[in-house]
Amino acid sequence: MRPDDAPFASHAQELARADASVTRMSGTRRDRWYPTYHVAAQAGWINDPNGLVFFGGRYHAFFQHHPYGTDWGPMHWGHVSSPDLVTWRHEPVALAPSIEAERDGCWSGSCAVGDDGRLYAFYTGHRRQADPMDASSRREVQCVAVSDDGIAWKKLGVVVPGVRPMGNFRDPKVWRQDGAWCMVVGQQSAEGRGQVALYHSSDLLAWEYGGIVYEHPTPGVRMLECPDLFAVGDEWVLCFSAMGMRAQGYVGRNYNNAGYVLGSWELGSPFVPHTDFIPCDWGHNYYAPQSFEAPDARRIQFGWMNAFRFDAPEKADGWCGQLTLPRELTVEDGVVHARPVAETERLLGPAHTWDAVELGANERFVLADDLACGRLDLTLDLRSTDAERVGVEAHRSPDGYCLHVAYDAQTNCVVVDRNRSLRGNRGYRAFPLRSHRDTLKIQLWLDRGSLEVYVNDGEATLSELSYPGEGPRELALVSESGTACVTDLTARWIV
């Protein structure tokens, strides 16, 4: 046995200990912001979606999980499964650190169903050597585990040690391409540049280096986490989560930023980009997305509604972190569109519909006295609107908290404004509309502790965490300094 593959603990015991901790912590969890329909752990911390796959008649979503606390810590793989992408069942923790190569964590990765019908999980073994903040003192390698049922895993050890020892070399994404197995991995070059490396294999176990498919053009972008390379129709999408990007206008405003470039690619050649970096999502809380191909060939992506760089209030409640809704990706008019998968309609309960609403200047129109979880659809008739801003106050609680989603006429942007957030971070994010149109469609998905905004049928999304106070959560339309006309207005409750 190679030293990296040697166990330092019993995997079965580590899993049992992790599950016991989650059960213990979930006993005292507070649910004021705990999601009713988004994926989260029963308790403890989660980050990236991992290993998304349809296997054995169910969808499986794994995620980075720290089962011993509400902060990021030594990573495990948590696990939920679903028959339909919307009703999720908590499964036992799938992977816990137990061999030398992953002494400090089983980091992000992906799943593939092998030619033998078994499920393979590829993930990064992470080890600190001396100083955890110094990449040269860390070591990252790619490991594999195999399962017959998606629940119980047998570790097979390190399969991709890298072409040289690397401290930033992670997040293997594996898929089948032209009869070969391919893996993309994010890495930092010796010169400190963010790159995506390719490996290929005929049996999922022996991997050969296939070169660099992409290097980020901007010096300073030092690492591309969670790379994902896939075709949508005739277009190739290279998605990654960039560390070290500087903000430019509305783009790149988060601490680290998830986005994509469109281009062309074939096995054996580098990726040829046709676009600049485009954010996957324009909100504050989105990172580390991963996609997979559903049995009906839809390309579906989950993101992490991240709470990495601020003191997320839900930590006091015994949990932290949730995933976005599964979003179906298409490429339309030269950009990726992301819509909630059709199955999400099953979540929806009673509907309330209004005829067109004309709002006077500075008017407020209450749509629902209490809508914590639900969906709102509306169309703004921009020809009949002269308000400076018109939009929705969501999750407005009696203490004055609300999240404000609006169309801003001055900048032609859809904005999420957290100025009246009493908990969590403030500030705003904006999606600049690509053209001036007569109408604007907005769809909001509200859950107890989050808000997802879909603009113009998925042309853009904005993901936000939300922390309303005690009591009812009002939903209202508001126009500022001018009148507005809202049509096709429907609120649906999720119960």
Residues in the site for ligand FRU, rule: CB under 6 A? 47-48, 64, 75, 107-108, 124, 170-171, 225-226, 241, 287-288
Which lies closer to ligand FRU via its Cβ, residue 48 or residue 417?
Answer: 48
List all residues 6 or more positions away from 113 whose beta carbon is below 8 Å from its beta carbon.
53, 55, 119, 120
Min dist. Cβ of residue 226 to ligand FRU (A)? 6
Which lies closer to ligand FRU via its Cβ, residue 319 or residue 454?
Answer: 319
CA dist., res. 237 & res. 244, Å (int) = 21
The single-letter DSSP state of residue 115 is T
Which lies closer to ligand FRU via its Cβ, residue 18 or residue 489?
Answer: 18
Other beta carbons less than 10 A from residue 214's beta carbon: 24
In order, the DSSP letters of 294-332 are -TTS-EEEEEEE---SS--GGGGGTEE-EEPPPEEEEEE
Which lies closer to ligand FRU via its Cβ, residue 171 or residue 328?
Answer: 171
Which lies closer to ligand FRU via its Cβ, residue 33 or residue 107?
Answer: 107
Catalytic residue among 4, 5, 31, 48: 48
Min dist. Cβ of residue 425 to ligand FRU (A)? 18
Long-range contacts of 259-263 (CB under 8 A, 24+ apart): 260/336, 261/214, 261/237, 262/235, 262/236, 262/237, 262/238, 262/331, 262/334, 262/335, 262/336, 263/235, 263/236, 263/238
Amino acid at 236: W
Task: Write phi, then psi, for 24 (nearest 5 degrees).
Answer: -60, -50
End-to-end CA separation in angstroms for the chain: 53
171 catalytic per annotation: no
Min dist. Cβ of residue 309 to ligand FRU (A)? 11
What is the distance of C-alpha 400 from the center of its chain?
Answer: 29
Min dist. Cβ of residue 304 to ligand FRU (A)? 7
* Count of positions (residues) in the chain: 495
Min dist. Cβ of residue 171 to ligand FRU (A)? 5
**Catalytic site positions:** 48
